[in-house]
């Protein structure tokens, strides 16, 4: 399981780096990549989104979130 987690993190970083070609240069791009469909991972993703909202980030206005499921 730890191997999948590390692979997911590495893929997430690569997705963020490669997708930074948006027209608004000051808008941060965050990628979230799942390797497989799982209820625990869905809860982690939702918690991640909630934490961003609590800190003042709004999807499509102050940040761009890209979600992919492998």
Tens-digit pLDDT profile for residues 13-69: 666 665 555 455 677 888 878 888 888 888 888 888 888 888 888 777 788 888 887
SS3 of 21, please?
Answer: coil
Alpha carbons 33 and 25: distance in angstroms, whole number: 22
Using the predicted structure, report yes or no on whether residue 4 has a pLDDT greater than 80.
no
Query: On the CB side of 40, how many CA atoms lie within 13 Å of its CA?
Result: 4
pLDDT at res. 58? 79
| pLDDT of 6 above 70 | no
pTM value surpassing 0.75: no
Domain spans in the chain, listed from the N-terminal domain onward: 2-69
Q: What sign does the dihedral 38-40-43-47 (CA atoms) show?
A: negative
């Amino acid at each position: 399981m730890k191997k999948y987690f590390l692979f997911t993190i590495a893929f997430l970083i690569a997705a963020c780096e490669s997708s930074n070609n948006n027209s608004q240069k000051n808008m941060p791009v965050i990628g979230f990549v799942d390797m497989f469909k799982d209820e625990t991972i869905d809860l982690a993703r939702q918690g991640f989104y909630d934490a961003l909202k609590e800190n003042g980030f709004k999807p499509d206005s102050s940040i761009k979130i890209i979600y992919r499921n492998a």
